[in-house]
Amino acid sequence: MGDRAGKSALFEEFARVGKALGSGKRLELLDLLSQGERSVEALAAAAGLGLSTASAHLQSLRQAGLVTTRREGTRIHYDVAGPDVLRLYSMLRSVARDRVADVELKRAAYLGLGGPHGERGEELTREELLARAQAGAVTVLDVRPGEEYRAAHIPGAVSIPLDELAARISELPERADVVAYCRGAYCRGAYCVLAYDALDVLRAHGRAGRRLQDGMLEWRLAGLPVESEGAA
C-alpha cells in the first residue's frame, strides 16, 4: 500500500488542473482556444485583458498541461493540448449548467434570452449539415471573427463576420440554403449569440437561413474535419 504522504502528493497533482480551471478569465481563454490556435496578442484582445495578464493566465494553463505553445518568430501561439482538454472544458460547462442554479440565469442575461433572441430559429444537426454540404446543397456561413475562422473552420465555409454581414450579404447566393454557425452551443441553447444574430440580419434582408445546432467546439469534439489558414 502507498503511504498517506504519497497519496496526498498524488492528489495535489490532480488539483493542479482544477486550480488552473479555477478562474473565469482562464476559462474564457480556454473557450477562445476551443476555436483554434491563437497568438497571445489575439487572445488578450479578445478576452479584454492586458498582454501581461493574459500571458500569466496562459502560463497557468500551460503549467497544468492544458495548453501547448508554438513560436513563430517573436510571437507565441497557444492551442489546447488535445481533444481530452476540449472534452474536459465541455463537461465542466455541462456540470455547471446542471448543478449550479445561477448558470442558466447568467446565460439568459448574457444572451438576452426571453428578449430579442429567445430560443428560436430552425436548427440543423451536424449530420444533416454534412449530408447537405457533401451534396452541394447548402452554403455554410461562419459568422465568427475573421481570426477565429482562419484558426479553424468547417471545410468550405464562407467567412462573413457578423458585424460585416449586412454590408456583404450580396456575397451570398440569393436562393442559397444558408446555415450559420458560431463558437459553440449548449444542448439546444447557446453560449454564443452570433449565429442567432446572423439569422436576424438575413431575415431583415429578405433572406432565409438556419442555424447549426452547435458550433466549432462541438464540431472539433466530434472529430470532424476542419480547415485553417494560419492562427491569428
Domain match, 121 and 192 both: yes
Residues annotated as part of the active site: 182
Residue 104 domain-assigned (yes or no): yes
Condensed to tens digits (0 to 9), the pLDDT of residues 163-211 reads: 999 999 999 998 889 999 999 765 334 567 899 899 999 999 999 999 9
Q: Can you give the pLDDT of all 232 residues of the chain as single tens digits?
A: 668 999 999 999 999 999 999 999 999 999 999 999 999 999 999 999 999 999 999 999 999 999 999 999 999 999 999 999 999 999 999 899 899 989 878 877 776 655 444 445 588 999 999 899 888 899 999 999 999 999 999 999 999 999 999 999 999 998 889 999 999 765 334 567 899 899 999 999 999 999 998 889 889 999 999 999 865 5
Condensed to tens digits (0 to 9), the pLDDT of residues 122-135 reads: 889 999 998 998 88
Domain end (from 36, 54, 82)? 82
Domain containing residue 75: 4-82
Residue 22 domain-assigned (yes or no): yes
Structural domain total, the chain: 2
Domain match, 60 and 171 both: no
94: Cα separation from own chain's centroid: 15
Which pLDDT does position 187 carry in this prediction? 39
Helices (H), 156-206: 162-168, 194-204
Domain match, 153 and 117 both: yes
Residue 229 domain-assigned (yes or no): no
What lies within 8 Å, CB to CB, of 164 at 6+ separation is none
Residue 158 domain-assigned (yes or no): yes
Question: What CATH number has the domain bearing residue 140?
Answer: 3.40.250.10
Domain match, 37 and 142 both: no
* 48 Rama class: left (phi>0) / alpha (psi -120 to 50) / beta: left
